[in-house]
Chains A and B, each alone.
Chain A
């Protein structure tokens, strides 16, 4: 059991796979080889899909996008949720949504400005992407609270970052979770930058994970570039939450290789040398090294999966772009369950105006 064994306030963190891909002495991988291999393949697909989104934005085919490059192991945490566990994402969660089973084409469509990208089937325990930094952990606490009140054995997982940890709403979320002992797992991906602000200027605390103790529940700092550490922490936290042992906070220490979003220029706030110094810590490199050392992976496999990633991304982009734009009436369709009469009028007036202006061309 890792919570309680590593004290984040002393800078202690969980690492199972070192940057060279070797199991740290005294630890076990914690997952069967076949599962590790499968997860590695998913991380490769995630990286290719993320890269494709960046390229699409550069070509003007997709709007602002927040990449997950470098954070793939953290994003894979969502692979350990049961279907009845809720996932409550921020905007830098394309990889986590992908791991949770949201189709790539839906994720692309959302970032292409198509609201239908966040239209999930009834019963899908995933909240839509939330943009205001730090607002969504409260929703995860409410969901977890609802499950506790209904005696359901499920957890709700809140995704946020080091920047969000400064927001008052995140404090309120952890405080409520502690008071009501809700089955909430807080995942703070500390990618060391909030746009331009480095983590050390975000808080004077040594770690974010240590805050958990002040809310009365355990926190754990993990190497967020180590998929095996992420998996172990996640499985333990989810089990604890589901079994009624209360909330857990996991700080996953990682590094954002890309910009904050496609609108950002990271050279303004960090040097190339710093970036290069972090590249050997790439979460994919060490997992690949581990698999190769166990003869579970070779260069042919690598070439094949990267090729497959490109093909899957291409296919998803094709699907996303092939969708007809949403009808203009969609603007009016979802604000209220029952449309107020004056809103109906606004819609009718606009449709009449559009029809007259375009010589009868339909927007509908």
Chain B
């Protein structure tokens, strides 16, 4: 098996599905000739032609809005929105149109559309290139939101997303695009959507993370192990529809829960996870639920972003807090 980074793993998934499904097309800003600003679609236009990998005018609403029509017309459009901060420009098309079309048409227009979006902070980029606005999407019924944390999952989740037949927002953690490498099978395989993954088993506390925060969570768990604390780490993988069963099952075992995410705390996904655990497993909890998250502020520019983004040390501090409760 080859060792790939996340960029190459997603590229391989797109490539393999394009070869398999001639209805699949890619559209977005600079995705063709340039191969995307992060090179995720590198080489695909050369291989499949400009009729299947299409550079569009610079208009996010236009990209998503036409993808809706393309899907209804029989294609499988894979759209790229260059940075998550630009997603808001397309919010009407995503939340009011794409997410509702299945209901509006009474199931007739269930649209297989995948929107890929580089996600989150940590790359020293300008403003609005480092946010984590997943709550806005998760709060919209009808959307499926996925975020991988490693190359193998990135490929398998992408192949699942492409075959789901429903609108998927595929959040790509740009901080670890190239920083995390791992074995990726050349084979055609899928990672199920809607299923969280227990990335590390443990018995003393549960840490829930996704995307780039998984690296920090696993590093924290490793350090805890040295102190004889066994942390279970759950990679959420699908943010919506969320697999709370796996989390609840884990909390029943460990009795302690820490959730970490880059997004602001208020109404971040941690809030929903905490609510579900409180509803289902209150009596299992031996300590208050801890959230280690971004602050309820605007995401700072690069000079201060490392202080904003939760890291291994803040996760460890949070773990100590609930362990000593």
- Tell me, rounded to whole Å, the shortest Cβ–Cβ distance linking A309 to chain B: 28
Contacts of B57 in A (CB 8 A): 172, 175-176, 179
Q: Does B71 contact A (CB under 8 A)?
A: yes
A132 adjacent to B96 (CB under 8 Å): yes
Identify 12 new A-B residue pairs, CB closer than 8 A, beyond the known A146-B69, A146-B71, A337-B166: A120-B108, A132-B96, A142-B65, A142-B69, A146-B75, A147-B73, A156-B73, A169-B93, A172-B57, A334-B102, A336-B144, A341-B245
Q: Write out, one digit per residue, whether chain B residues 258-285 have a CB within 8 A of any chain A CB (1) or not (0).
A: 0000000000000000001000000000
Known: A122-B108, A135-B65. A127 touches B103 (CB 8 A): no
Q: Which of B65-82 contact A (CB under 8 A)?
A: 65-75, 77
Q: Write out, one digit per residue, whether chain A residues 321-338 have a CB within 8 A of any chain B CB (1) or not (0).
A: 000000000000111111
| Cα of A172 to Cα of B14 in the assembled complex, Å | 27
Q: Does A320 contact B (CB under 8 A)?
A: no
Q: Does B156 contact A (CB under 8 A)?
A: no
Contacts of B70 in A (CB 8 A): 142-143, 145-146, 149
Contacts of A139 in B (CB 8 A): 65-66, 68-69, 72, 97
Q: Which of B97-115 contact A (CB under 8 A)?
A: 97, 101-110
B59 adjacent to A337 (CB under 8 Å): no
Q: Does A130 contact B (CB under 8 A)?
A: yes
Contacts of B142 in A (CB 8 A): 335-336
- Tell me, rounded to whole Å, the shortest Cβ–Cβ distance linking A121 to chain B: 9
Q: Which of A111-119, A220-228, A255-263, A298-306 binds B?
A: A111-119
- The answer, among A135, A142, A336, A338, for a CB contact under 8 Å with B72, is A142
28 inter-chain pairs at a CB distance below 8 angstroms, sorted by A residue, are A86-B73, A115-B106, A118-B104, A119-B105, A132-B97, A135-B65, A135-B92, A135-B97, A138-B66, A138-B68, A139-B68, A139-B97, A141-B69, A142-B68, A142-B72, A142-B73, A143-B73, A149-B75, A150-B74, A156-B69, A173-B66, A176-B66, A180-B54, A334-B103, A335-B102, A335-B141, A341-B245, A342-B241
B93 adjacent to A138 (CB under 8 Å): yes
A145 adjacent to B93 (CB under 8 Å): no
**Most A C-beta atoms less than 10 A away, residue of B56, B108, B276:** B108
| Cα of A165 to Cα of B97 in the assembled complex, Å | 18
Q: Does A26 contact B (CB under 8 A)?
A: no
A132 adjacent to B103 (CB under 8 Å): no
Contacts of A341 in B (CB 8 A): 245
Dominant secondary structure at the A interface:
helix
Known: A132-B96, A147-B73. A169 touches B65 (CB 8 A): yes
| Cα of A330 to Cα of B242 in the assembled complex, Å | 22
- Tell me, rounded to whole Å, the shortest Cβ–Cβ distance linking B269 to chain A: 14
**Most A C-beta atoms less than 10 A away, residue of B69, B73, B103, B166:** B69
Count the A residues whose beta carbon is within 8 Å of the partner chain — how many? 45
Known: A146-B74, A149-B25, A342-B242. A175 touches B59 (CB 8 A): yes
| Cα of A168 to Cα of B64 in the assembled complex, Å | 14
A143 adjacent to B72 (CB under 8 Å): yes
Q: Does A32 contact B (CB under 8 A)?
A: no
Q: Does B202 contact A (CB under 8 A)?
A: no
| Cα of A70 to Cα of B54 in the assembled complex, Å | 42
| Cα of A145 to Cα of B68 in the assembled complex, Å | 11
| Cα of A168 to Cα of B195 in the assembled complex, Å | 38
Q: Does B45 contact A (CB under 8 A)?
A: no
| Cα of A127 to Cα of B65 in the assembled complex, Å | 14
Known: A128-B104, A176-B66. A145 touches B61 (CB 8 A): no
Q: Does A230 contact B (CB under 8 A)?
A: no
- Tell me, rounded to whole Å, the shortest Cβ–Cβ distance linking A126 to chain B: 10
Q: Does B51 contact A (CB under 8 A)?
A: yes
B93 adjacent to A135 (CB under 8 Å): yes
Name B25's closest neighbour in chain A (CB-CB).
Answer: A149
B106 adjacent to A334 (CB under 8 Å): yes
Q: Does A352 contact B (CB under 8 A)?
A: no
Count the B residues whose beta carbon is within 8 Å of the partner chain — how many? 46
Q: Does B165 contact A (CB under 8 A)?
A: yes
Contacts of B69 in A (CB 8 A): 88, 138-146, 156
Q: Does B244 contact A (CB under 8 A)?
A: yes
Name B141's closest neighbour in chain A (CB-CB).
Answer: A335
Contacts of B244 in A (CB 8 A): 342
| Cα of A151 to Cα of B71 in the assembled complex, Å | 16
- Tell me, rounded to whole Å, the shortest Cβ–Cβ distance linking A30 to chain B: 30
A142 adjacent to B67 (CB under 8 Å): yes
Q: Does A343 contact B (CB under 8 A)?
A: yes
Name B67's closest neighbour in chain A (CB-CB).
Answer: A142
Name B144's closest neighbour in chain A (CB-CB).
Answer: A336
Q: Does B300 contact A (CB under 8 A)?
A: no
- Tell me, rounded to whole Å, the shortest Cβ–Cβ distance linking B182 to chain A: 29
- Tell me, rounded to whole Å, the shortest Cβ–Cβ distance linking B91 to chain A: 11
Known: A135-B97, A335-B141, A341-B245. A142 touches B110 (CB 8 A): no
A337 adjacent to B245 (CB under 8 Å): no
Name A142's closest neighbour in chain B (CB-CB).
Answer: B69
Q: Write out, one digit per residue, whether chain B residues 31-71 have a CB within 8 A of any chain A CB (1) or not (0).
A: 00000000000000000000100101101011001111111
Name A175's closest neighbour in chain B (CB-CB).
Answer: B57
**Most A C-beta atoms less than 10 A away, residue of B73, B106, B194:** B73
- Tell me, rounded to whole Å, the shortest Cβ–Cβ distance linking B112 to chain A: 10
B97 adjacent to A173 (CB under 8 Å): no
A138 adjacent to B141 (CB under 8 Å): no
A337 adjacent to B25 (CB under 8 Å): no
| Cα of A357 to Cα of B70 in the assembled complex, Å | 46
Contacts of A364 in B (CB 8 A): none
Q: Which of B150-181 contact A (CB under 8 A)?
A: 164-166
Q: Which 6 A-B pairs have the closest CB atoms?
A: A142-B69, A146-B73, A138-B65, A340-B241, A172-B62, A142-B66
| Cα of A139 to Cα of B92 in the assembled complex, Å | 13
| Cα of A128 to Cα of B103 in the assembled complex, Å | 10
| Cα of A172 to Cα of B64 in the assembled complex, Å | 11
| Cα of A88 to Cα of B65 in the assembled complex, Å | 13
| Cα of A140 to Cα of B62 in the assembled complex, Å | 11
